[in-house]
Amino acid sequence: MSSPLKILALEPYYNISHSVFLEGYRHYSSHDVKIWSLPGRKWKWRMRGSAYYFSDLAAREAPGQEPDIVLATDFLNLADWKAICPGSYRDIPTLLYFHENQASYPVSRHSSGDHDYGWINLSSCLAADKVLFNSSYHRCEFLDASREALGLMADGVPADLADRVEKKSGVFPVGIDFAPHDKVLGEGKKTGEGPPVILWNHRWEYDKRPELLVDALAGLVELDVDFRVVICGESFDGTYPAFRDIRDLLGDRLLHLGFFEDKLDYLRAVAGSRVVVSTAAHEFFGISVVEAMYLGCIPVLPNSLSYPEILPGELHSRCLYSDPAQLPAFLKEALQVDPEELAGIARGAAAQYHWEKLGPRLDGILEDMA
């Protein structure tokens, strides 16, 4: 291509994972990527109202500043954007990227759910020129949920709506900039200086099922396994009911409980761990697990969701558990195995998600669209 494309990224929910995705792509892209964003909070209002905000920003741009292509994400109501944005933006090719979706997102037992946001996702897909999901699992989940929802309508439903989305959709994994990870690895991976460490690095919410982690750790205590634990991740108020008595259960086995404010401190804790574990009921990709694999952790994950995709087939039988009752045994084996035996394979699998490799691929997709 003779000159760089002008790419406008619209991100209504600029939280940690979404911002890392766009900043990483902007850094490794050969094109000019401009990001319009809103802070990552009040997601329902973002889905309902961010199109108005971005349309207003577009209206203030000087004539001739329109992008060659728009890269939007799933919290934007793209159909609204297309309807109300300035006319000069209306026919610009648009790629819609799904980090998550609201049609198949699991609902807390304390919530009845709200199907309107799943319909917004479906309308956005129909308005987009191309749709990408961060895993094959995610794509299939969304298409199945959309077909199920359409089947509930009384009448007047075009028979091929979900098929239209399927035909123009594909899979593109989440890119990660591993530069800070390489910096930490350059300091030396601090293992072997005491009992091996289990890492749980996920959001403190119902869909990550922290109560299953507590049960598994209690099982290891009963088995008299020598280990330590780091529990970290984002939480709304720094607490979670399942962790209320965790200090009493683990005592000095618990090395850390809570969010790491400093990114490098977090990465050092990950690099100092032997095993990364997930107890999730929902995962469309798994950035925290991939980061841990890159830093040398042995993954112990559910044999479902997106995890079989990110894990090489040769690790499936030893690292993917099918029943939570199996988790203590899987953790015990991972703690006692030669760490280089499995960690090296896992790290090689994680390296494929470096933006150095994925940036040119996404550039190519957008160039073809433009």
CATH number, position 217: 3.40.50.2000
Residue range 237-295, pLDDT digits in tens: 667 888 999 999 999 999 999 999 999 999 999 999 999 999 999 999 999 999 999 99
Position 310 scores a pLDDT of 96
Are 211 and 93 in the same domain? Answer: no
Rg (CA), the chain: 22
Counted domains in the chain: 2
Give Cα separations from 283 to 100, 141, 156, 259 (angstroms): 9, 11, 34, 20
Per-residue confidence (pLDDT) for residue 341, from 0 to 100: 84
Does one domain contain both 134 and 47?
Answer: yes
pLDDT at 106: 73
Helices vs. strands in the chain: H and E counts, helices first: 17, 12
Asked whether residue 1 is assigned to any structural domain, the reply reads no
Whether the Cβ atoms of residue 216 and residue 331 lie closer than 8 Å to each other: yes
Q: Report yes or no on 326 lying in a domain.
A: yes
Same domain flag for 218 and 344? yes
Domain range for 45: 6-175+355-369
Q: What is the pLDDT of residue 193?
A: 72
pLDDT on residue 174: 97
Q: Please indicate, yes or no, whether residues 125 and 187 belong to a single structural domain of this protein.
A: no
- Indicate whether 212 belongs to any domain: yes
Predicted confidence at residue 1, as pLDDT, reads: 56
Non-local CB neighbours of 270 within 8 Å, separated by 6+ positions = 199, 201, 276, 291, 292, 295, 297
Does residue 238 form part of some domain? yes
State the pLDDT at residue 107. 63
230 assigned to some structural domain = yes
pLDDT on residue 44: 95
Asked if residue 260 and residue 215 are part of one domain, the reply reads: yes
Same domain, 161 and 205: no
Query: Based on the domain organization, do 34 and 144 belong to the same domain?
Result: yes
Whether residues 82 and 109 share a domain: the answer is yes
Q: Report, as ranges of residue numbers, the positions in the chain whose pLDDT lies below 50.
A: none
Residue 295, in any domain of the structure: yes
Residue 121: what pLDDT?
97
Same domain, 301 and 345: yes
In a shared domain, residues 96 and 230? no
pLDDT, residue 34, reads: 98
In a domain, 333, yes or no: yes
Same domain as 197, residue 107:
no
Query: Do 47 and 112 have their domain in common?
Result: yes
pLDDT at 114: 65
Q: Is residue 273 in some structural domain?
A: yes
Residue appearing with tokens 């989305």:
165
The string of DSSP codes covering 75-139 is TS-HHHHHHHS-HHHHTS-EEEEES--SSSPPPPTT----THHHHHHHHHHHHSSEEEESSHHHH
